[in-house]
Amino acid sequence: MQKKASFHRLLATLFHYVFRYRKLALLIVVLGAFQAVVVKAPFLLLKMVSDATRIFVAQNSEAPPPALIPAPSSSSQVDVFAYLDSFKDYLLETLGLASNDPENIIIAAALMLSILAVLGAILVYFHRMLASLAATRVVVDMRNRLASHLLGLSLRHFGGQRTGDLISRVTNDSNTVMSSFNIVFENAVLQPMFLLVNLIWAWMVSPWVALAVLLIIAFLLVPMLSFGRKVQKGSGRSLQALGQSADAMSQMFTGFRTVKAFQLEGHEIAEFERINETFFRRKMRMFKAKAKSQGFLQLIYMLGVAGFLIGLTYLLKNTEDPSKLVVALGPLGTTYTDVKRLARTYNMLKESQGALDRIDELFDLRNELLRPADGKSAEALSGAIAFEDVRFSYGREPVLDQLNLQIKAGQRIAFVGPSGSGKSTILNLVARFYDPDAGRVLIDGQDLKEYELDSYLLKLAIVDQQPFLFNVSVRENIRLGRPGASDAEIEQAAKDALVHDFVNGLPEGYDTICGERGTELSGGQMQRITIARALLRSPRILLLDEATSALDTESERLVQAALDRLKEGRTVLYVAHRMSTVRGADQIFVLAGGRVVEQGTHEELMAKRNGAYHKLVKLQGEGSQAEIDVPSI
């Protein structure tokens, strides 16, 4: 039942895009109908060629020449053949040739075939171009929608997702869908029309011939439908393995230094080979189902033709014009090809069903960060923050448990505590990357959920422990803080972040490409560029998550000096493991078990000899004044 519903969902998706591009789809259908008639029309000329052959044989024997057209009848097939014969006579008369000469009849058939060839070539070109255009447009739209949807989700959805698998779904799976849609727009329209024209042509010859073609089509559809389910099942599993392969490769190259340092090449290659072997086995199961389907199609078709040959003896005895039976060879000869292409289309649909199911899993993810229709603007935000009985967990165990705290606008607040105590989680909640499971986060006394999120985020900036730079120029990386900023504003932000002189020393200055994830720069240089980005944004709330913990002493000194400029006139929340960096905070919150166990200034907390903060400082060996006097926030 689930598979049936899934296939219905695939058809619903197809219909959605067909309706969206209905004018283009209608044009494809119309062109397909004309193409089907033009491509199959040469079969009707076979009667003309057969008649010419009979006349030629009769002229070279003692038998009288046969009549070209049987006696008039009310049946539609006689009218069609009579029309073609009239058109043949018109052509020969225009060329000044005799209409009863067999050689001239062949010339007329050749001319008519040439006209059909030109028309067919034009129709095929435009039909395929429009089909490819429609398929590619559909998948580009799907990728854009998927990227927009994923970026609109909260961080909670990405915690359990593998990056390589996500990339595989957006690229490999959507490519599979594109290939399927391409075939659908081409063959799902064209092949049924080809089969319909085959039936019409067969009916013109004899209703019995049409019945034979119809039975062959019906029996050929049986293996197509039967093996299609196996193809769909194998497709989903093979794409899942392909996603795992992409994820393994992503980890392998992202952690390249670790792999080399710990000599894990053999382990990583073995794991990669294992995943690829799984992909190979699953893909071969799908190919096996396809091969069986094609084999059964061939068997049924040949048996059907054999049955038709047996029935041909009856038709030869009971038809007024045996030469018309030659026309039946066209529909019979191409029905197998048409059904085989239709089966391939169906298999591709079933194959894309597995890909589309994986894409739909991402579309089904819902963003729990609800945005109010009439959200409050954050334009006049001052930066006061409060947590009221906040409870939050990433899984089962709570990270924050009934957390309460008050932060005044413009204060510099430091959060310290052991790993897992909830320090970074507080920053994530203030940035509204997540919503609390219970309780409220208040900004200027208003529930954060009631703010218009885009307006609020414009008043917030983050500097993380691991700075992230895009693979664009230094100038564009800084400009991301405020798109539309002038070059002069960007350079001023760089000066305030103490990075201007360094950037001017680069080969191409501000136009120097940073490399993927900023790999062309040092950690301190990357961090100062991210600070320049934050300065350009001019936020009311600044979040610093271990902004200097991964730097050497000299880089930390420069970054800290840049941070001192960035913090002025703003509410600053700072997460730190180094006790030395929090001494200048207006308030220090000490966290343990998801709650505030102590708060106060550095001096107040150090006065508590048995307090948690005092112990943390002592554990880091920073009890002396000299050791504490390092640049602070």
Residue 403: C-alpha distances to residues 86, 421, 436 (Å): 93, 11, 11
Counting other chains too, the contacts that 33-39 makes at CB distance below 8 Å and 24 or more residues apart are 33/193, 34/123, 35/120, 35/123, 35/124, 35/127, 35/190, 35/193, 36/190, 36/193, 36/194, 36/196, 36/197, 37/197, 38/116, 38/119, 38/120, 38/123, 39/120, 39/124, 39/194
Distance CA 567, CA 574 (A): 10
How many other CB atoms sit within 10 Å of the CB of residue 116?
A: 18
DSSP 608: -
- Distance spanning both ends of the chain, measured CA to CA: 61
Higher pLDDT, 49 or 338: 338
Instruction: Please tell me the predicted confidence (pLDDT) of residue 162.
Output: 67
Q: The domain 385-624 belongs to what CATH superfamily?
A: P-loop containing nucleotide triphosphate hydrolases (3.40.50.300)
Share of the chain above pLDDT 90, in %: 8
CB 165 within 8 A of CB 244: yes
CB 571 within 8 A of CB 585: no
- Angle, helices 22-40 vs 102-151, to 10°: value is 160
Residues of the chain with CATH 3.40.50.300: 385-624
Query: Residue 575 forms beta bridges with which residues?
Result: 415, 545
The SS3 of residue 266 is helix
**Cα 136 from chain centre:** 12
**Cα 283 from chain centre:** 21
Instruction: Please tell me the predicted confidence (pLDDT) of residue 486.
Output: 92
Return all residues near 208 (Cβ < 8 A) that are at least 6 apart.
Answer: 311, 314, 315
Instruction: Please tell me the predicted confidence (pLDDT) of residue 553.
Output: 65
Mean pLDDT in residue range 237-251: 65
Q: What is the pLDDT of residues 303-325, one digit of tens each?
A: 766 766 666 666 666 666 666 66
Residues of the chain with CATH 1.20.1560.10: 15-58+81-195
Burial 63-86 (b: 16+ CB within 10 A, else e): eeeeebeeeeeeeebbeebeebbe
pTM (2 d.p.): 0.65
Most confident of 41-50, 100-109, 442-451, 572-581: 442-451
Helix residue spans in 519-624 (DSSP H): 523-537, 553-566, 602-606, 612-619
Mean pLDDT in residue range 182-192: 78
Longest Cα–Cα distance in the chain: 131
Beta strands 438-443 and 446-447 are antiparallel
Instruction: Please tell me the predicted confidence (pLDDT) of residue 429.
Output: 92
Q: What is the pLDDT of residues 605-633, one digit of tens each?
A: 888 888 888 888 887 764 443 333 333 33
- AA identity, residue 519: T
What is 15-58+81-195's CATH topology? ABC transporter transmembrane region fold (1.20.1560)
**Cα 484 from chain centre:** 29
For the chain, helix (H) and strand (E) counts, in that order, are: 22, 10
